[in-house]
Amino acid sequence: MIVAFSVAPSGTGREDGSVHDAVAAAVRVVRESGLPHSTSSMFTELEGEWDEVMDVVKRATEAVLPFGSRVSLVLKADIRPGYTGELTGKLERLERALDETAD
């Protein structure tokens, strides 16, 4: 499965509203998990089996808790049993399709 998630604190008390320190704590958990992942400006994508992916999301969320009075978690999952490597595979198929339509 692939999970795209975003986790951020609110009630941080920071004047500038920045949450980069909290997000760094969450991304550190993802990177240390050893699972295939990708982080963009809005979401982190993570690939693996259900239990291992959800464990990482839970731990990443817990890593953000100390940074505010509450935490927001947005999660989207693509559950496709029997498939691996889809974090990059989906993009490769998209690029091929774009190349084919450009000809």
Whether the model clears a pTM of 0.75, i.e. scores above it, the answer is yes
Domains of the chain with CATH codes: 2-102 (3.30.70.930)
Per DSSP, the residues of the chain read -EEEEEEEEE----TT---HHHHHHHHHHHHHH-S-EEE-SS-EEEES-HHHHHHHHHHHHHHHGGGSSEEEEEEEEE--TT---HHHHHHHHHHHHHHHHH-
pLDDT digits (tens, 9 = 90+) for 51-96: 999 999 999 999 999 999 899 999 999 999 999 999 999 999 999 9
Predicted local distance difference test score (pLDDT) of residue 11: 78
Mean pLDDT (whole number) for 1-5 = 97
pLDDT digits (tens, 9 = 90+) for 4-60: 999 999 877 777 878 899 999 999 999 999 999 999 999 999 999 999 999 999 999
